[in-house]
């Protein structure tokens, strides 16, 4: 039996800017016929763009099995394999996506949900908020005009739009440290720049004393000075961690380490 993860060829059917730094790509075509969603709302796929040998990971913003349409919302930043491709006219290009995987695991008895993230986390935050029924608050740190993004998250959500500092360095760790938490047991989900996420994991464990089942904090990208980050598929790290009985936050710490 092959242990290779399934991959799917897809064509870029459309490219629509949603804001200055966020571009919606709709993928489709017969290569996606066997694509199946995990149903986990922060599920992601590896995306391999033309002329590249390394994938990058993107949240499945939506998958419509009837239309065969897979929507990815891609942050366009300064330099990078996908960002430079997505800035151009990529409609008609053929890409490869991997089978999706997800890690969001809100306990059934959670009384509330807190979502925190930067622009890369917005697609997952939107999808999570669409499918969960508990009272939910969101904090989103974005570099763009929030008017353009205002409709991105479901209307029932109470959202704090935070302006990303001009130096491009996220302040999300400080924001979370200062949060006033709701009463009772809930679930905390967060994703963004890895160093911020490491700081938050420590805060949640040490200062708030939360069990690993009460939160999921993921480093989605790594701020680097010159060196390219290693693209490491979160899937195998996640599965190996689960097999070893590790908590989600330990697994995501392993993932940060694996990217070196
Ligand atoms: C599970 C998961 C889900 C994700 N979902 C999404 C998603 O839905 N949408 C999305 O846009 N991203 C998402 N990401 C993040 C995305 O994979 C990274 O941002 C990736 O590095 C982008 O690849 P690139 O080829 O553009 O840049 P790379 O070639 O990886 O990096 C080049 C340079 O750009 C910098 N860089 C990378 N990302 C950013 C950024 N966002 N802002 C500023 N500088 C950056 C790096 O530090 C590096 O110096 C997700 C990541 C994971 C692990």
pLDDT tens sequence across 171-202: 899 999 999 999 999 999 999 999 889 999 99
Cα–Cα nearest to 121, from 182, 189, 169: 189
Once rounded to an integer, what is the mean pLDDT over residues 55-75? 97
How far apart are alpha carbons 90 and 80 in whole angstroms? 15
Q: Whose CA is nearest to atom 45 of ligand 1?
A: 77
> 227: pLDDT confidence band, cut at 50, 70 and 90?
very low
For ligand 1, is residue 120 a contact (CB within 6 Å)? yes
Residue pair 60/46 in contact by the 8 Å Cβ criterion = no
In this prediction, what percent of the chain has a pLDDT beyond 90?
Answer: 74
Residue to probe by mutation, ligand 1, list 80, 84, 87, 141, most atoms within 8 Å of CB = 80
Q: Whose CA is nearest to atom 37 of ligand 1?
A: 221
220 CA distance to ligand 1 middle (Å): 7
pLDDT of residue 229: 52
1 CA distance to ligand 1 middle (Å): 33
Cα–Cα nearest to 114, from 142, 137, 82: 137
* Continuous segment of H or E residues that includes residue 90: none
Checking if the pLDDT of 230 tops 80, the result is: no
Backbone torsions φ then ψ of 65, nearest 5 degrees: -70, -25
Using DSSP bridges, classify how beta strands 136-142 and 113-118 pair: parallel, antiparallel or unpaired: parallel
What digits encode the pLDDT tens for the residues 76-99?
Answer: 999 999 999 999 999 999 999 999
User: What angle is formed at CA 141 by the lines to CA 135 and CA 142, rounded to 5 degrees?
Assistant: 125
Nearest-atom number in ligand 1 for the CA of 83 is 26
For ligand 1, is residue 8 a contact (CB within 6 Å)? no
* Continuous segment of H or E residues that includes residue 131: helix 122-131
| 85-99, 115-129, 130-144, 165-179: segment of lowest average pLDDT | 165-179
In the chain, residues under CATH classification 2.40.30.10 are 7-98
pLDDT of residue 1: 46
For ligand 1, is residue 75 a contact (CB within 6 Å)? yes
In the predicted model, what is the mean pLDDT of the chain? 91
209 CA distance to ligand 1 middle (Å): 30
Q: Which two tokens stand for residue 93?
A: 């290009």
Q: Which two tokens stand for residue 67?
A: 């239309």
Q: Which two tokens stand for residue 22?
A: 């966020």
Strand blocks (E) in 29-112: 44-48, 56-59, 62-64, 69-75, 94-98
58 CA distance to ligand 1 middle (Å): 8
226 CA distance to ligand 1 middle (Å): 15
For ligand 1, is residue 223 a contact (CB within 6 Å)? yes
For ligand 1, is residue 82 a contact (CB within 6 Å)? yes
The fold adopted by the segment(s) 113-258 is Rossmann fold (3.40.50)
What digits encode the pLDDT tens for the residues 210-223?
Answer: 999 999 999 999 98
182 CA distance to ligand 1 middle (Å): 31
Coil, strand or helix at 217? strand
Between 234 and 133, name the one with better pLDDT: 133
pLDDT of residue 190: 97
Longest CA span, the chain: 51
In CATH, the number for domain 7-98 is 2.40.30.10
For ligand 1, is residue 104 a contact (CB within 6 Å)? no
In the chain, residues under CATH classification 3.40.50.80 are 113-258
How far apart are alpha carbons 78 and 76 in whole angstroms? 7
pLDDT of residue 4: 65
Cα–Cα nearest to 186, from 137, 219, 153: 137
Which range in 1-5, 143-147, 177-181 is most confidently predicted, on average pLDDT? Answer: 177-181
């Amino acid at each position: 039996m092959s242990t290779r993860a399934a991959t799917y060829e897809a064509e870029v059917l459309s490219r629509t800017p949603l804001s200055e730094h966020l571009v919606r790509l709709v993928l489709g075509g017969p290569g996606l016929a066997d694509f199946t969603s995990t149903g986990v709302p922060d599920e992601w796929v590896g995306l391999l763009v033309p002329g590249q040998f390394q994938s990058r990971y993107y949240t499945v913003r939506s998958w419509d099995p009837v239309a065969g349409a897979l929507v990815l919302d891609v942050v366009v930043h300064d330099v990078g394999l996908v960002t430079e491709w997505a800035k151009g006219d990529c409609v008609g290009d053929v890409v490869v996506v991997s089978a999706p995987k997800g890690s969001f695991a809100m306990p059934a008895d959670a009384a509330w949900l807190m979502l925190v993230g930067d622009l890369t986390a917005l697609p997952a935050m939107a999808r999570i908020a669409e499918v969960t029924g508990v009272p939910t608050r969101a904090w989103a740190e974005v570099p763009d005009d929030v008017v353009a993004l205002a409709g991105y998250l479901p209307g029932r959500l109470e959202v704090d739009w935070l302006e990303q500092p001009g130096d491009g360095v996220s302040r999300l760790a400080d924001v979370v440290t200062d949060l006033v938490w709701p009463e009772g047991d809930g679930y905390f989900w967060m994703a963004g720049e890895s160093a911020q996420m490491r700081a938050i994991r420590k805060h949640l464990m040490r200062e708030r004393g939360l069990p690993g089942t009460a939160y999921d904090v993921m480093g989605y990208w790594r701020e680097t000075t010159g060196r390219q980050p290693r693209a490491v598929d979160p899937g195998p790290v996640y599965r190996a961690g689960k097999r070893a009985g590790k908590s989600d936050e330990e697994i995501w710490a392993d993932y940060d380490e694996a990217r070196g």
